[in-house]
């Protein structure tokens, strides 16, 4: 669950993880030009980028409530109980679709707890770290799940390397080119999913891959009226319009915890936020 910040007394824009992934997919489909290589293998990369958090679907279907904030738990608010289980659940979904998707999703899950392999400076919360915090009392179970993901990665890389048709996909530089693309799309989506437009300042994205051999930094600057410029511009064309889907939710007063939060939340009308990306 993605809980966007808002000034006191205002509605919060809330997106599910599936809607967050859909926004990432919009970025991925448009990524690539004469300076930036598009994700390859394209269709498999679109799948994993569009499903990298799919293990959250069970939890988003029955959201927990954060009484301090008066909104559902999620990123940008209190952490949702049971979210550690998504470390394995998301790679499970992706591996079922294709071993390469499972590998990238597993790397994403492991990287969230390990500074995204050192390839990102993005912080979901002001003053927070680049790693996902460990739920209180869950350190041992989290460590065991992360160790299992490393074992999954070793198994899937060996499987893919044994097939001439997929061997090139797991060559180290190409694999991490794809991983860094996924992290760019994910953290760029978080910039919009978690921050009110009044809180979106200049953000620098590091290690955005142009090729398997070369990375660059991309600076995103708000221009106002939903427009953001990118330097350098990594998308096809001279302008990209994307839509962030979700619903508006007014925080509930203290002591008014709903009996059926899912019905209350998903009974809200579908809503959207529109952003326009232009070259800097």
Which of 41, 53, 134 has its CA nearest to residue 88?
53
Sequence-ordered list of residues with C-beta below 8 angstroms from that of 191, at least 6 positions apart, any chain? 122, 200, 203, 220
Q: Which two tokens stand for residue 29?
A: 């489909």
Sequence-ordered list of residues with C-beta below 8 angstroms from that of 207, at least 6 positions apart, any chain? 119, 120, 180, 183, 215, 217
Q: In sequence order, what E strands does the chain have?
A: 2-3, 12-15, 65-66, 71-72, 203-209, 215-224, 227-231, 240-249, 271-279
Q: What is the pTM of this model?
A: 0.95
DSSP secondary structure code for residue 271 in this structure: E
Beta-bridge mates of residue 219: 204, 231
Q: Encode the chain (280 residues) as per-residue pLDDT tens digits.
A: 999 999 999 999 999 999 999 999 999 999 999 999 999 999 999 999 999 999 999 999 999 999 999 999 988 666 666 677 888 999 999 999 999 999 999 999 999 999 999 999 999 877 778 777 666 666 788 889 999 999 999 999 999 999 999 999 999 999 999 999 999 999 999 999 999 999 999 999 999 999 999 999 999 999 999 999 999 999 999 999 999 999 999 999 998 999 999 999 999 999 999 999 999 9
Alpha carbon distance 42, 210 (integer Å): 15
The domain limits of the chain are: 2-59+68-279
Torsion of the alpha carbons at 259, 263, 265 and 269, rounded to the nearest 10: -150
Beta-bridge mates of residue 275: 242
Half-sphere exposure of 238 (CA within 13 A, CB side): 0
Sequence-ordered list of residues with C-beta below 8 angstroms from that of 232, at least 6 positions apart, any chain? 35, 216, 218, 279, 280
């Amino acid at each position: 669950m993605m809980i966007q910040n808002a000034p006191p007394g205002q509605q919060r824009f809330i997106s599910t993880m599936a809607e967050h992934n859909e926004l990432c997919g919009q970025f991925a489909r448009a990524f690539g030009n004469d300076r930036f290589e598009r994700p390859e293998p394209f269709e498999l990369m679109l799948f994993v980028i569009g499903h990298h958090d799919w293990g959250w679907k069970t939890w988003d279907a029955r959201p927990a409530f954060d009484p301090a904030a008066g909104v559902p738990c999620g990123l940008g608010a209190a952490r949702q109980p049971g979210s550690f289980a998504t470390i394995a659940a998301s790679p499970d979904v992706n591996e079922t679709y294709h071993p390469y998707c499972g590998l990238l999703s597993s790397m994403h899950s492991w990287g969230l707890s390990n500074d995204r392999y050192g390839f990102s400076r993005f912080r979901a919360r002001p003053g927070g770290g680049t790693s996902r915090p460990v739920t209180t009392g869950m350190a041992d179970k989290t460590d065991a799940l992360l160790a299992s993901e490393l074992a999954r990665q070793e198994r899937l890389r060996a499987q893919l390397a044994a097939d001439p048709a997929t061997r090139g996909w797991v060559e180290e530089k190409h694999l991490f080119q794809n991983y860094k693309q996924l992290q760019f799309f994910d953290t760029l989506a978080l910039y919009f999913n978690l921050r009110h437009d009044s809180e979106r300042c200049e953000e620098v994205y590091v290690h955005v891959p142009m090729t398997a051999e070369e990375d660059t930094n991309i600076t995103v600057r708000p221009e106002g009226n939903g427009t953001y410029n990118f330097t350098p511009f990594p998308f096809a064309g001279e302008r990209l319009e994307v839509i962030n889907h979700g619903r508006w939710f007014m925080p509930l007063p203290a002591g008014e915890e709903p009996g059926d939060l899912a019905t209350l939340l998903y009974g809200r009308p579908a809503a959207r936020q529109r952003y326009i990306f232009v070259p800097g």
